[in-house]
Amino acid sequence: MELMGSTLTSTYTRPKTGHFLPAISTSAASYRNNQSALAVNPSVSLWRSNNFYQSSDAAPALSCVPRENLDLVRAKTMFYPSNRTVLTTRYSPDDWYKSNQNNYRQSESSRKSAERLRKDTIRLIQDKNQLTRRTQETSSKNIGERLNSIVFWKSELSHEIDNMVTEITALAEVKRRLERALAETEGPFQVSQECLYHREKRMSIDLVHDDVERSLIKEVEVIRSCQERMKRVLDKAAAQLASNRGVQHELEKDMSDKAAAQRIDDRCHHLRNTSDGIGFYRGIERLDPSLSLPESWSRFTDDNILRSQSERAASQKLRDEMEILMNTTCGEMWNQFNTVNVAFSNRTSETADAKNSLQTHLAKTLQEIFQTEMLIESLKKAIREKECPLKVAQTRLEERTRRPNVELCRDNPHHSLVSEVMEIEDTIYKLRERLVEAENTLQTLLKTKVALEHDLSIKANSLFLDQEKCMSIRKSFPSMPRLVGYT
């Protein structure tokens, strides 16, 4: 029979002895009741041959033997295994052989399984060691490449910072020159105004709105226009300097961050398995959504450099504009200065013929006053006409602010309305500026009209004012190097 699992052991109704076969008892009680053993242990199934049962049937029943003869019967019927024709056993030799073979096969299978597990484990350990080493080498290589990228961007940032510092210095120098040039225009401006004030002292009909006065007014306008342009460009230069310094700050901050990152990555690149300071940091490998990506990292520095280059280009363009402006304003003021001087000379020679030309100038002055007034009315009407479109645009914007939740969107209508409001406000602002200029011109024309009507009779006073008062102070006009800010 084939055994499954562990080998079964024999179970006997009596205690075991030191012999291989069960001991033969001489007690008659063991033969009195053959069912007692089954009653003690029901799981025992005695294997008996047919001959055994046949011989047992022929044996006399012990119950019929008298009690006094029990000892004699027990002595004469000693039980030995050699007296039995069949041994009482549970397994055959074939079962024993099969059990041994099964144990051999199970042992060999267990050893082969253990050997296979051992070899697979050794191979797994070697593979994982190689994988870990390759992964670590890849990580070190990536960190080294990252260091190269950081060094490259640091060099680009350093070069750009140097260029930006040079540009800031150059722009600041041109700005100081322009400030000096603006300060130099105050003298000619005061001289031109003083000449106008002196000529206002002309008496009677000599107080005429002549070429000298127009030239002086134009000179004042030219100088004022030059000053306004200089101030606007100075404001742009100040804003550009602030932008340049802001870009420089961003570049230096990025440079500082990259220097810190380089130190950290360099330290990480030199870390080995035997290095000090390494330890476990559980959960550090979890993804942090706030971290930047390589594309955004390089794009951030590239955007900073592009912004710096753009600001430097704008700064260089502004410096060129400032140079051109200083040269242009210097030429305009000098041309107008010469024009005014020529007008004074002509005016002196025309004093004798002034009376004949006074009426013509007066008529021109009156016509100019009328046209200026018409211009003022046109400007006021134009300003009034712009109020309703401005109200409509602003009302639309205000109504659209009541859109609920996500509908409150900066869509194309919003941008167009904002542009419309800004455009109309800019138009109104320019019209009001022009209105102020027109009103100032009107006032000047009125003063000239009064001068033409009342002060033409005193020519001597006019000659004194033109030659002695005006021409004497106009000799202090600044030189061209001073007007361009070099001195």
AA identity, residue 440: N
Closest to 334 measured CA to CA, from 477, 228, 233: 477
pLDDT-above-90 percentage for the chain: 33
Helix (H, G, I), strand (E, B) or coil at 218: helix
Query: For residue 20, is pLDDT > 50?
Result: no
What pLDDT was estimated at residue 34?
A: 44
- Name the band, by pLDDT with cuts 50, 70 and 90, for residue 293: confident
Give the pLDDT band of residue 250 (cuts 50, 70, 90): very high
Question: Which residue type sits at 368?
Answer: E
pLDDT of amino acid 365:
83
Q: Tell whether the torsion through CA atoms of 289, 295, 298 and 304 is positive or negative.
A: negative
Q: Taking residues 405-416, what's their average pLDDT?
A: 82
114: pLDDT strictly greater than 90: yes
Which residues are CB-contacts of 421 (< 8 A; sequence separation ≥ 6)?
A: 390, 393, 394, 397
C-alpha gyration radius of the chain: 61
Q: Which is higher by pLDDT, 297 or 66?
A: 297
User: How confident is the model over 436-463, as a mean pLDDT?
Assistant: 79
Largest alpha-carbon pair distance within the chain? 195
For 257, the token pair is: 């961050």
Flag whether pLDDT at 11 surpasses 70. no
Highest mean pLDDT among 56-60, 224-228, 248-252, 401-405: 248-252
The label of the residue with tokens 């007066």 reads 362
Q: At 229, which amino acid appears? A: R
Contact residues for 23 (Cβ-Cβ < 8 A; gap 6+): 14, 17
User: By C-alpha distance, which of 451, 457, 444 is closest to 354?
Assistant: 457
Asked if residues 209 and 449 have their Cβ atoms less than 8 Å apart, the reply is: yes
Confidence of residue 43 (pLDDT cuts 50, 70, 90): very low
Closest CA to 48 of 100, 93, 89: 89
For the ranges 175-189, 265-279, 359-373, the lowest mean pLDDT is seen at: 359-373
